[in-house]
Amino acid sequence: MSQARIPAPVLALAAAGLLFFLLPLAGLIVRAPWGQVGPALVAPETATALGLSLFCSVTATAVALVLGIPLAVVLSRTQGTLRSVLRALTTLPMVLPPVVGGVALFLAFGRRGLVGEPLHQAFGIQIPFTTAAAVIAETFVAMPFLVIAVEGGLRSMDHRYEEAARALGAGSWRVFARVTLPLLRPAIFSGAVLCWARALGEFGATITFAGNLPGRTQTIPLAVYVALETRPEGAIALSLILLAVSLAILIGMRDRWLGSP
Partner 1 sequence: MIKRGLAVAGFLVLTSCGGGVGGGPPSNITVFAAASLQPAFDKIAARVKSQYYLATTFNYAGTQTLTTQLIQGAQADVFASADTAHMTTVQNGGLVGGTTSVFAHNKLEIAVERGNPKRIHSLADLARSGLVVVLADPSVPAGKYAQEALANAHVTVHPASLEPQVTGVLSKVALGEADAGIVYVSDIVTSGKVDGIAIPDAENVIADYSIARLNSAWNRAGADEFFAYVLSSQGQAILSGAGFETV
Nearer to partner 1 among residue 111 and residue 166 (C-beta): 111
Rounded distance between C-alpha atoms, residue 93 and residue 75, angstroms: 16
Residues 26 and 149: beta-carbon distance below 8 Å = no
Rounded distance between C-alpha atoms, residue 57 and residue 50, angstroms: 11
Q: Contact between 140 and partner 1 (CB under 8 A)?
A: no
**Options 126, 132, 170, 254; binder of partner 1; rule CB under 8 A:** 126
Q: Contact between 28 and partner 1 (CB under 8 A)?
A: no
| Least spacing, CB of residue 84 vs partner 1, in Å | 33
| Least spacing, CB of residue 252 vs partner 1, in Å | 33
Nearer to partner 1 among residue 210 and residue 237 (C-beta): 210
Q: Contact between 112 and partner 1 (CB under 8 A)?
A: yes
Rounded distance between C-alpha atoms, residue 52 and residue 215, angstroms: 7
CB burial of residue 42 (10 Å; 0-12, 13-18, 19+): exposed
**Options 53, 180, 217, 219; binder of partner 1; rule CB under 8 A:** 217
Give the Cβ contact number of residue 253 at 10 Å. Answer: 14
Would you give the distance in Å from CA 126 to the centre of its chain?
25
Q: Count residues binding partner 1 (CB under 8 A).
A: 22
Residues 162 and 179: beta-carbon distance below 8 Å = yes
Please identify, among the stretches 145-153, 159-167, 228-236, 249-257, the one whose residues bind partner 1 according to the rule CB under 8 A.
Answer: 228-236
**Options 55, 129, 176, 257; binder of partner 1; rule CB under 8 A:** 129
Rounded distance between C-alpha atoms, residue 126 and residue 233, angstroms: 36
Q: Contact between 134 and partner 1 (CB under 8 A)?
A: no
C-alpha angle with apex 202: 105 to 89, nearest 5 degrees? 50
Summarize as ranges the residues that interact with partner 1 (CB under 8 A): 103, 106, 110-112, 126, 128-129, 207-208, 210-214, 217, 225-226, 228-230, 232
